[in-house]
Amino acid sequence: MTQADNNQEPDEGDEQPFISHLVELRDRLLRVVLVVIVIFLGLVPFANWLFTQLAGPLMSHLPEGSSMVAIDVASPFFTPFKLAMVLSIFIAMPMILYQFWAFIAPGLYQHERKRTLPLL
């Protein structure tokens, strides 16, 4: 690689002011949050079923006559919702990674983009 390759400007042309970067970051974060919320709202009706499906194999490995114990008063209520939230983030991960890449990529040089392509 030559010194001329390192001096190439990013593809988007001139630099944007700092505030425009913050506005773009806010927009992308809002998109991610909205997608996670929509997926979460879609999973909430199935939260207890999802918890039962996850806890079933764990319960079968417990000793005979024992059961899972809630150590907090609200645990039996919040645990299925926490599971739904974690699953919604997991399901939304492609969108989260895309928004991250779409924010970072315009500031990279062409050779930097080529090096990060195998990571995607």
- In the chain, where the domains are located: 22-62+70-119
Q: What is the pTM of this model?
A: 0.78
Question: What pLDDT shows up at residue 1?
Answer: 47
Please say whether the dihedral angle defined by the alpha carbons of residues 71, 43, 25 and 113, taken in this order, is positive or negative: positive
- Give pLDDT, residue 107: 87
pLDDT tens, position by position, 35-82: 999 999 999 999 999 999 999 988 888 888 888 888 889 888 999 999
CB 114 within 8 A of CB 8: no
pLDDT in tens, 22-32: 999 999 999 99
The answer to whether residue 33 scores a pLDDT higher than 90 is: yes
Give the residue from 29, 84, 74 showing the smallest Cα distance to 52.
Answer: 84
C-alpha 76: how far from its chain's center? 25
Residue 58's contacts (CB-CB under 8 Å, 6 or more residues apart) are 68
CA–CA separation, 14 and 83 (whole Å): 44
CA 39 to CA 91: how far, in whole Å?
8
Look at residue 9 and tell me whether its pLDDT is greater than 70: no
